[in-house]
Amino acid sequence: MGINKSRPIYEKLRIDPKGRAHLIVTDLASVPEDAIEADPAFSNIESWVVGIGAPGIAAEARGNLRAFRAVADLRSHLSHRLARETMGFRLYALGSEAFLWDVMTLGREAGLGEGEIFLNQAGTLRRRVYCTHCKTMNENVATHIVVCQACGATLFVRDHFSRRLAAFMGVKVDAEVPGEVPAPEVLYP
């Protein structure tokens, strides 16, 4: 069976020459050199990272660099920034899939859409899993079977992704014969 058509397909990030101002946000500690294609003439590119600002970006060449203590902090600042921005703004997100789509939701709420916000997966491939039975989000799931941290159901992680929830769908794996649970495979260590 092929890949589920609800799965997003990611492409390498590229600075859009038609944009007026550019902001890269990532849940990583730095933006790797090769993570984004940009014409060297561009100097008005800002980067927001989480953790300690690190080498890998020549701060003068790439414009402002800002480091946040945590993803939640970055998101809060991003909401405020987007509410003030005007047309021509471009947002580029790099990081885990859950981070990307959380940023997308913030972007959409502020009005950003196709052609203005770009996503690419980097860093961990671990998944956020939505427990269909109790509606709880289980973060950083490395396996294809996971026990819901809230209701205790053993979930099979279906290959069905919701951009709105930024999560994969988890459904009880042993609903038909309780106890009949396959061994969890570690997919994303």
Partner 1 sequence: MKARIADIQSLGPAIKRLVLAPSGAELFPAASAGANILLEIPGPERVWKNAYSLVSAPGERNRYEIIVRRVRQSRGGSAWLHDHAVIGQELEIGVPANFFPIAKAAKKHLLLSAGIGITPFLSYLAALQAAKAAFELHHCCRGEEAGLFRDLLPQSAQAVLHTSRNTLDLVKLLSVQKLHTHLYVCGPEAFMDLVVATALRLGWPRAKIHEESFGGATGGAPFIVKLARSGIAVQVRADETLLEALQNAGVDAPCLCRGGACGVCELPVLEGVPEHHDHFLSEQKRAGNTSIMTCVSRAKTPELVLDF
Partner 2 sequence: MHIRLKPSETFRGEFLVRNSDEAILRFPFPFPEDAYMYGVNIEPHRRGGPSAAYDAVFDLDEHYIGECEDRALTLIDDPARCQVLPHMLAAEWDVVELLMESLATDYPELFQLSKNGDDWRWVNQPLGIDQCFTFGNPETLPYPPFEYITRQVQGDFTIQDQRDGNLFMDGGMVTSQADWSLNFDLGMSFHEWHGPVPLAHELGVFDRALQYLLRLQLGKPVRRLNWTLTVNPRLDTSPENYPLWGPDKATITPENVGEKMCLRVELQTLTRLPRSNAILFGIRGYLIRLNELVRVKKFAKRMHRVLRDLHPEIAEYKGMPRYRQIIVDYLAPFDDGAVLSSGTAPDQASL
* Binding positions for partner 1, rule: CB under 8 A: 18-20, 82-83, 85-90, 108, 110-116
Among 35, 57, 94, 169, binds partner 2 (CB under 8 A): 169
161 scored as a contact of partner 2 (CB under 8 A): yes
Largest CA-CA distance found in the chain, in angstroms, rounded? 62
- Nearest alpha-carbon partner for 141 in 164, 125, 122, 120: 125
- Nearest alpha-carbon partner for 57 in 74, 27, 87, 33: 33
Pairing mode of beta strands 89-95, 21-26: parallel
Tell me the C-alpha distance between 19 and 145, whole Å.
Answer: 42
Residue 118 main-chain phi, psi, to 5 deg = -130, 140
160 scored as a contact of partner 2 (CB under 8 A): yes
114 scored as a contact of partner 2 (CB under 8 A): yes
132 scored as a contact of partner 2 (CB under 8 A): yes
Among 7, 12, 14, 20, binds partner 2 (CB under 8 A): 7
Q: Which does 18 bind (CB under 5 to 8 A by kind): partner 2, partner 1, none?
A: partner 1
Q: Which residues bind partner 2 (CB under 8 A)?
A: 1-2, 4-7, 113-114, 130, 132-133, 135, 153, 158-165, 169, 171-172, 175-178
